[in-house]
Amino acid sequence: MPRTLLPGQRCRVLIVDPATGETETVFESRTLLVEAPNWSPDGRWLVVNGDGLLWRLPVDARAVDETALEAVPMGDVPEINNDHVIAPDGSVVFVSARDGHVYEIPWEGVPAGESARRVTRPHPEGRNHKNYLHGVSPDGGTLSVIVGALPAPVADPGAEEARVGWRTNVALVAVSDGAATPVTDDEHPDDGAEFAPDGARLWFNSERASGGVAGHAQLFRTGLDGAGAVQVTHDERVNWFPHVSPDGRTLLYVSFEPGTLGHPENRDVVLRALPLGGGDGLPEPGATPHDVLALFGGQGTVNVPGWSPDSSRFACADYPLA
């Protein structure tokens, strides 16, 4: 079921200046919960999901409500979640659906009577297999995906005891034929995998350095083959969803309070920015993140890339209570 607003809750889409934290409210609703704004490559649109559907909204809108949203027809695609990414050329939007597959939606939507193209291959049986989209390569040919699956087939993959063994790992998926190449393959929970602007590396969050403390995710960067992983954040907070600005100069992420498990909704969180100016696209030695904006959100706030093409602003969502 799609997320809905709590009694008295609002949903907002904000445009934020990462240097000052100043915000502009693009969208506000007390009836429809939308999530995870993407910024189109031409700078004109924001794309969100809401009520299991795909929507777009002009970037220059201000304080509009759900009546200003434009639906993007998805054909026969099942209900989608907040994992969606726009192709670099702006021609299609890739979406993750509740059936665990990634689909390709034309920018103007799936024509009436036609079906969307499924990108990912059929799920292996007995492994409770799911694909969660997070990024697309600069050339548009490869998706960075989190694969959730059991390490080996079981008779009843939906059983509670099987769910305990479920793992999330990073994979690369070819847009052309859905062929998947593992990047990580271990018991450490990984998520939020996104390409660096040059396409040569991946950023992601992981619990691999948590010392056995469940939920203590930090941010990492690695090669496309999973080699040379570098831990980039080292603090007591729980850090998720790294997004590098298109100019490669700033790392934006959402930071949860210590002890948070996963990336839950309706929490006090902070959006943080870390300057990248060191060698090889990493932070300068001694660089520390600064708090850009504190808000009430978490899940749905910045799950996917939301930087403007010129790196001057980013889009996010929050969910204030009355």
Q: Mind listing the pLDDT tens digit for each residue in 80-92?
A: 999 999 999 999 9
For the whole model, what pTM was predicted? 0.97
Per-residue pLDDT, 277: 87
Domains of the chain: 11-318 (2.120.10.30)
Per-residue pLDDT, 241: 98
Per-residue pLDDT, 211: 87
- Rounded to whole angstroms, the Cα distance separating 239 from 217 reads 6
Per-residue pLDDT, 319: 98
DSSP annotation of 283: B
Mean pLDDT of the chain: 96
Q: Mind listing the pLDDT tens digit for each residue in 249-290?
A: 999 999 999 999 999 999 999 999 999 987 789 998 889 999
Residues in the chain where the model's pLDDT stays below 70 = none
- Rounded to whole angstroms, the Cα distance separating 49 from 46 reads 10
Smallest CA-to-CA distance from 97 within 163, 53, 37, 159 is with 53
